[in-house]
Amino acid sequence: MNSKKISFQGVSKSFPLKDTDFVALSEVSLDIADREFVTVVGPSGCGKSTLMGMAAGLIDPGTGQILIDGRPVAGPGPDRGVIFQQYALFPWLTVRKNVEFGLKLSAISPEERRGRAQRAIDLVGLADFADALPKTLSGGMKQRCAIARAYAVNPEVLLMDEPFGALDALTRVQLQDQLLRTWSQERRTVMFITHDVDEAVYLANRVVVMAARPGRIYKVIDVDLPYPRTEEIRLSPEFGRIRNEVWHSVYHQAPAAPAA
């Protein structure tokens, strides 16, 4: 893995706050390789969502550069699928129609659209509920639907912001395994934000730990564990060692050096 799929180069971002500027991100530099799975953890407010939102093209760029395939981000695009914690489904559309909706902008025939939607629905295990409305689905099923909508567009990059944060532990583990299966089959590049240290280690090639005030990269930790990740790996001493290192980096951060 050496080609840079996503590259953050000295990215800073401020928001106007009363009569000063609030620095949400300061000099963030990070390269994510093609087909790499990177998770991002850090205290609330350290700028995780801001960083990902800028890569998605949903938040105005600050200073520095964000490149996808070597090109600066200029707004959202079909090369990047974005999944948030809130399912953001259209309540009046069925699962199938919700998944097809994401393909409306692609220049493909209705048959092709239907076929791609069906494959994505099958992949996330929602085939039996394709014609159900969101209100009849559990939280986990709604999130599968949102994931299917992103998959259907077949983006090379998946940007996921605490996608499993609102789900119960069992559903969460199931969706983690399903996500890893599709990632290893289709080898997309994934940037996945979570506040769950176990989840961060279980999924990733590398865990990026961020710190707040100002938002910045605190530490990058390699997860040198094989795929497929299994329960045996999750319960292994090596997993525990890495989890402890990530935990320590998140919850016992050294304070930022005082501004000169």
Ligand X SMILES: Nc1ncnc2c1ncn2[C@@H]1O[C@H](COP(=O)(O)OP(=O)(O)O)[C@@H](O)[C@H]1O
Q: What is the size of the binding site for ligand X (CB under 6 A)?
A: 11
Helices (H) and strands (E) in the chain, counts: 8, 10
Question: How far apart are the C-alpha atoms of 145 and 137, rounded to whole Å?
Answer: 10
Assign residue 118 a region: left if phi > 0, alpha if psi is -120 to 50, beta otherwise? alpha
Q: Is the peptide bond before 214 cis (omega within 30 degrees of 0)?
A: yes
26 is a site residue for Mg ion (CB under 5 A): no
216 is a site residue for ligand X (CB under 6 A): no
For ligand X, the binding residues in 48-87 under the rule CB under 6 A are 48-50
Alpha carbon 231 to its chain's center: 22
94 is a site residue for Mg ion (CB under 5 A): no
Shortest Å distance, C-beta 133 to ligand X: 30
From residue 145 to residue 184, the character string flagging contacts with ligand X as x (rule: CB under 6 A) and all else as - is: ----------------------------------------
249 is a site residue for Mg ion (CB under 5 A): no
CB atoms within 10 A of CB 46: 25
Question: How far apart are the C-alpha atoms of 183 and 156, rounded to whole Å?
Answer: 10
Q: Which does 44 bind (CB under 5 to 8 A by kind): Mg ion, ligand X, none?
A: ligand X
Nearer Cβ to ligand X (59/173) = 59
Candidate list 7, 26, 39, 49; residue touching Mg ion; CB under 5 A: 49
Contact 32/184 with Cβ under 8 angstroms? Answer: no
15 is a site residue for ligand X (CB under 6 A): yes
181: tokens are 């299966």
Instruction: State the DSSP code for 198.
Output: H
Nearer Cβ to ligand X (11/152) = 11
* Binding region for Mg ion (CB under 5 A): 48-49
* Binding region for ligand X (CB under 6 A): 15, 22, 24, 44-50, 215
